[in-house]
Amino acid sequence: MTYFSAKSALLAAVLAGSVSLSMTPVMAQDDTIKVGILHSLSGTMAISETTLKDTMLFLIEQQNAKGGLLGKQIEPVVVDIASDWPLAAELARQLIEVDDVDAVFGCWTSVCRKSVLPVFEELNSLLFYPVQYEGEESQRNVFYTGASPNQQAIPAVDYLMNDEGVERWVLAGTDYVYPQTTNKILEQYLLDKGVAAEDIMINYTPFGHSDWQTIVSDIKAFGSAGKKTAVVSTINGDANVPFYRELGNQGIKAEDIPVVAFSVGEEELSGFDTTPLVGHLAAWNYFMSVDTPENAEFIKAWHDYIGDDKRVTNDPMEAHMIGFNLWVKAVEAAGTTDSDAVIDAIVGLETPNLTGGMAKMLPNHHITKPVLIGEIQDDGQFFVVWETEDLVPGDAWSDYLPESKMLEADWTAPINCGNYNTETKTCGAAAQ
């Protein structure tokens, strides 16, 4: 396994390549299939991403124990993007050009993904992206195994509106592309549902924001107008810790103003006292508490690998598992790790998810997923209070934005386009 650590060594690494600390005996380059792991192991996003690096090492070890892939062992190459998005692009290039990886699994934030997209397009390599995102994108070299808005944000709002009677909405997010675009979609969706503009409050804070007193006070005041109010949270990273703490400090309970979060899962909850969070909600496509044989088997194997039965599992871990297994199946079907062959082979392939269904790779490079709403418990786990009856296919383009509702993505012939206009029957730009 190859490790590379953050900014201080960037120049040396780009010039000289990374230092190999292989988990397997040292082999000639052609004797292994290299997989890049592109996550933040330091900085504000490390709270969420470090466990995804561990997940990839776990999945690769499992696959190697089965005999590897195409008769070769898989060698992980790990880099630390340090919550620094330009650095992520530099290290993505290094993984592909210097380390010669065949696929990359990584990024959390959309700004990270947007930063590295041009690299994967230019070098025709593969990125498997495991986190919920804002949609409005489909790139030929990217596979989106996390939720798009119609697989998380829209169902969460429907639940709050229909089951909880919410009439007033706080859209609170970190100040970058995912929350901004998601909230643009949600604002239009709420307006289309008849919610008055004055009943929608939108607020953004920077990464790592820590002083929440004024903002939480504003939320409390906004929720005192006599209408049931909820917070839809796209706050990312370690800013969630002081945010929820301040909710508790100001006496905001879930029964008064529930928060439904899109980026708070078991891993984030394991880092702080959950007492103020009990009863608040999260929308994901997987929870550790789901009772299925597949999930029980995964959790046991994870605990055996990591050597700590207190370590949790979460949604992006499942998304990495799904993406990795689909990549393995596509490589086996194609008989090669060549990017073009894998892109052609992967559409239509299926692999089990952990909730008892099947994840299918669609022509738009998104997958089918269930949607679950979970209520935070005092042990840091989630009790599922609502779920979709069927699997939901991921939409690349939102039906609720006028500029997007006529667009479709289909990376198979004859369309082979990421933003095909169904009205003009033309393709915009293939890299969208």
pLDDT digits (tens, 9 = 90+) for 292-318: 999 999 999 999 999 999 999 999 999
What pLDDT, on the 0 to 100 scale, is given for residue 273?
80
Q: Per the structure block, which two tokens stand in for 15? A: 């010039």
Q: What confidence tens digit (pLDDT) does each residue in 103-112 have?
A: 999 999 999 9
- Are residues 278 and 249 in contact, defined by beta-carbon separation less than 8 angstroms? no
Overall average pLDDT of the 305-333 stretch: 97
What pLDDT, on the 0 to 100 scale, is given for residue 2?
56
Which residues lie across from 408 on neighbouring strands? 420
What pLDDT, on the 0 to 100 scale, is given for residue 275?
84
What pLDDT, on the 0 to 100 scale, is given for residue 39?
98
Q: How many other CB atoms sit within 10 Å of the CB of residue 127?
A: 25
Overall average pLDDT of the 346-371 stretch: 98
Q: Is 430 left (phi over 0), alpha (psi -120 to 50) or beta?
A: alpha
Overall average pLDDT of the 308-335 stretch: 97
Residue 20 has pLDDT above 70, yes or no: no
Overall average pLDDT of the 311-330 stretch: 98
Which residues lie across from 75 on neighbouring strands? 34
Can you list the positions of beta strands (E) in 90-248?
103-106, 127-129, 142-144, 168-174, 200-205, 229-234
Q: Per the structure block, which two tokens stand in for 93? A: 């290039």
For residues 346 and 148, give the distance between their C-alpha atoms in angstroms, rounded to a whole number.
19
What pLDDT, on the 0 to 100 scale, is given for residue 116?
98
What pLDDT, on the 0 to 100 scale, is given for residue 276?
79
The proportion of the chain whose per-residue pLDDT surpasses 70, expressed as a percent, equals 92
Overall average pLDDT of the 119-137 stretch: 97
Among positive and negative, which fits the CA dihedral 88, 93, 96, 98?
A: negative
Crossing angle of helices 315-334 and 293-306, in 10° steps, is 100
- Are residues 38 and 90 in contact, defined by beta-carbon separation less than 8 angstroms? no
Q: What confidence tens digit (pLDDT) does each residue in 244-290 have?
A: 989 989 999 999 999 999 989 998 888 778 887 899 999 999 999 99
For residues 89 and 285, give the distance between their C-alpha atoms in angstroms, rounded to a whole number.
28
Give, as one character, the DSSP assignment of residue 394.
P
The proportion of the chain whose per-residue pLDDT surpasses 90, expressed as a percent, equals 86
Overall average pLDDT of the 367-382 stretch: 96
What pLDDT, on the 0 to 100 scale, is given for residue 3?
56
Band of pLDDT at residue 16, cut at 50, 70 and 90? very low
Q: How many other CB atoms sit within 10 Å of the CB of residue 360?
A: 19
Band of pLDDT at residue 14, cut at 50, 70 and 90? very low
- Are residues 260 and 160 in contact, defined by beta-carbon separation less than 8 angstroms? yes
Q: Is 27 helix (H, G, I), strand (E, B) or coil?
A: coil
Q: How many other CB atoms sit within 10 Å of the CB of residue 63?
A: 18
What pLDDT, on the 0 to 100 scale, is given for residue 268?
84
Overall average pLDDT of the 198-222 stretch: 97
- pTM score: 0.90
Q: What confidence tens digit (pLDDT) does each residue in 32-52 have?
A: 999 999 999 999 999 899 999
- Are residues 358 and 351 in contact, defined by beta-carbon separation less than 8 angstroms? yes
- Are residues 306 and 54 in contact, defined by beta-carbon separation less than 8 angstroms? yes
Q: Per the structure block, which two tokens stand in for 191? A: 């307006």
Crossing angle of helices 293-306 and 46-65, in 10° steps, is 100
> Nearest to residue 322, comparing CAs of 355, 349, 359, 293?
359
Q: Give all domains of the chain, ordered by start, each with its CATH number.
A: 2-149+292-369 (3.40.50.2300), 150-290+373-393 (3.40.50.2300)
* Prior bond of 130 cis (ω within 30°): no
Band of pLDDT at residue 149, cut at 50, 70 and 90? very high
Which long-range contacts link 342-349 to residues 24+ away (Cβ below 8 Å)?
342/103, 342/126, 343/126, 343/140, 343/141, 343/411, 346/143, 347/411, 347/412
What pLDDT, on the 0 to 100 scale, is given for residue 238?
85
CA distances for 273 relative to 47, 231, 235, 241, 288, angstroms: 15, 20, 18, 9, 18
CA distances for 250 relative to 124, 162, 193, angstroms: 51, 27, 31
> What is the pLDDT of the chain when averaged over all its residues?
92
Give, as one character, the DSSP assignment of residue 227.
S
Crossing angle of helices 110-123 and 85-97, in 10° steps, is 30
Q: What confidence tens digit (pLDDT) does each residue in 52-90 have?
A: 999 999 999 999 999 999 999 999 999 999 999 999 999
For residues 292 and 307, give the distance between their C-alpha atoms in angstroms, rounded to a whole number.
22
What pLDDT, on the 0 to 100 scale, is given for residue 1?
64
Give, as one character, the DSSP assignment of residue 18.
P
Residue 430 has pLDDT above 90, yes or no: no
